[in-house]
Amino acid sequence: MSAYYLSALWPGAGHLHVRQSKTGIAFAVSWLIHIVILALACTRGMLFGIQSGDPLHLLPSVLLWSALALLWVGALISLGRRMAKRGHSTRTYWSHAFSKFGRDKKGIVGISLVGVALILALYSPFLSPYDPTAMDLDNLLEGPTWTHPFGTDDYGQDILSRIVYGARIALGIGACATLINMLWGGFLGVIAGFYRGVVDSAVMRFLEVINSIPYLVLVIFVVGTFGSSPQMLVITLGLFGLYPARIIRSKVLSVREGEYVTAARALGAKNSYIIFRHIIPNSMAPLLVVTTMQIGINIIMIAGLSFLGFGVRPPTPSWGAMLQAAQQYTVSHPTLAIFPGLAIMLTVLGFNLLGDSLRDALDPSLSM
């Protein structure tokens, strides 16, 4: 029982007590991070915007409390499951993959990097030292100092704060675009692989036409023609990032030949039932891997488009636009370009490591 009391005091402590050290550390560290953020928010008077009076602080506060509650309850539930299972473990495909993933250093580094970016994006008001658009006109184009750890830009805006808020643009637009990639690409892949014949060749021709224009050229062309806005970025990257479709199609082609599909058909199952009950669940693994990698690609694309001036425009803080602003100071203030670029690189690296490790765990056949 003492494990439960420990877990109630500090989520993860119970796991450590029963020697589930990896899960324990994961819970304990996440709890610690959230407690620190909570303390920061309280001391800065931003929690629920009570003292700061800023409605924009409300949502991160709600998120923060929900995350704390989820972690606390989640740690207890997970501990209960572990205790019940001790001695006789059942190994399913997903639990096997999960434990394989937990043993991979690459995956741990990846998920940590992604976690940091996610925390920066979710709790940016609590974490950023300044307002990202506030101008400190006495300190223009400063190098790193104690008051501005990453320096300031040509408007005297704090670069660290802009990087923290920039995570929102990168992950927000990146995730939305990837969601559309997944749904639209997954839809094309599933119908092409499942129905084959005319549908398949139509989808494949369509993909060929889209593929024959280099991706960046296509995206810049569309965004440049229709005008750039965050919504336009999401739609364009979402509709034309069709790399997932091919992967899903080839997976579906092999899944649909499975004996359980034949059996379901023999029992008189409808196509829609087979697709949702058998084809999609069994094609999940590659979809998950491709999705993770696709977020990284989308983040680079968003940064590249903003860099060229077709994406998110200043004063909205975005990493790509910060690099563009740094361009004219390459010779006089070269440090300006370093931190935003590092932020892009580390976030994308996180997703790539995560995807790589997920692939090793879920589907080694997807080599590349």
Partner 1 sequence: MVTYLIRRLAQMLVALFLVSVLVFIIIKLAPGDPARIMAGVTATPETIENIRHEFGLDQPYPIQYYRLMKKMLTGELRSLTYRAPISSLVSERIQASLELAVAAILLVVLTSIPFGIVAAVRRNTVLDYSVTTASLVGISIPVFWFATILMIVFGVYLRILPISGRGATLHGWAFLTADGLRHMVIPTVSLASVQIALNARLTRSSMLEVLNADYLRTARAKGLKERIVILRHAFRNALIPVLTNVGIQIGGFLGGAILTETVTAWPGVGRLMFEAISRRDEPLVIVLTLLAATASIMSYVIVDIVYAFIDPRIAYD
Single out the residue of 27, 101, 194, 307 in contact with partner 1 (rule: CB under 8 A).
307
Q: What is the smallest separation between the CB atom of 347 and partner 1, expressed in angstroms?
A: 8
Of the pair 49, 304, the CB lying nearest partner 1 is at 304
221 binds partner 1 (CB under 8 A): yes
Of the pair 141, 337, the CB lying nearest partner 1 is at 337
Q: Which two tokens stand for residue 301?
A: 């694309």
Options 42-50, 120-128, 175-183, 321-329: segment touching partner 1 (CB under 8 A): 321-329
Q: How far is CA 245 from CA 136, 238, 324, in A?
A: 48, 12, 33
294 contacts 240 by C-beta, under 8 angstroms:
no
Q: Which two tokens stand for residue 248?
A: 């899903």
114 binds partner 1 (CB under 8 A): no
Rounded Cα distance, 138 and 34, in Å: 34
CA count, 13 A, side-chain hemisphere, 147: 8
216 binds partner 1 (CB under 8 A): yes
Rounded Cα distance, 108 and 359, in Å: 14
Collapsing DSSP to helix, strand or coil, 335 comes out as helix
Single out the residue of 214, 266, 268, 272 in contact with partner 1 (rule: CB under 8 A).
214
**3-state SS string for 30-76:** HHHHHHHHHHHHHHCCCHHHCCCCCHHHHHHHHHHHHHHHHHHHHHH
173 binds partner 1 (CB under 8 A): no
220 binds partner 1 (CB under 8 A): yes
Query: Length of the chain in residues, anyone?
Result: 368
Output 15-21 pairs: Cβ under 8 A, ≥24 positions apart: 15/75, 15/78, 15/79, 15/82, 18/79, 18/82, 18/83, 18/86, 20/79, 20/82
368 binds partner 1 (CB under 8 A): yes
- CB environment 248-266: b (16+ within 10 A), e (fewer): bbbbbbebbeeeebeebee
2 binds partner 1 (CB under 8 A): no
Of the pair 55, 227, the CB lying nearest partner 1 is at 227
Rounded Cα distance, 275 and 358, in Å: 24
- The 29-68 site mask, x for binding partner 1 (CB under 8 A), equals ----------------------------------------
270 binds partner 1 (CB under 8 A): no
Single out the residue of 304, 313, 316, 363 in contact with partner 1 (rule: CB under 8 A).
304
Q: What is the smallest separation between the CB atom of 16 and partner 1, expressed in angstroms?
A: 30
225 binds partner 1 (CB under 8 A): yes
Q: State the helix-helix crossing angle for 159-180 and 105-122, rounded to 10 degrees.
A: 110
- The 328-357 site mask, x for binding partner 1 (CB under 8 A), equals --xx--x--xx-xx--xxx-xx--xx--x-
Q: What is the smallest separation between the CB atom of 368 and partner 1, expressed in angstroms?
A: 6
The residues that touch partner 1, with contacts defined as CB under 8 A, are: 205, 208-210, 212-214, 216-218, 220-222, 224-227, 296, 300, 303-304, 307-310, 320, 323, 326-327, 330-331, 334, 337-338, 340-341, 344-346, 348-349, 352-353, 356, 367-368
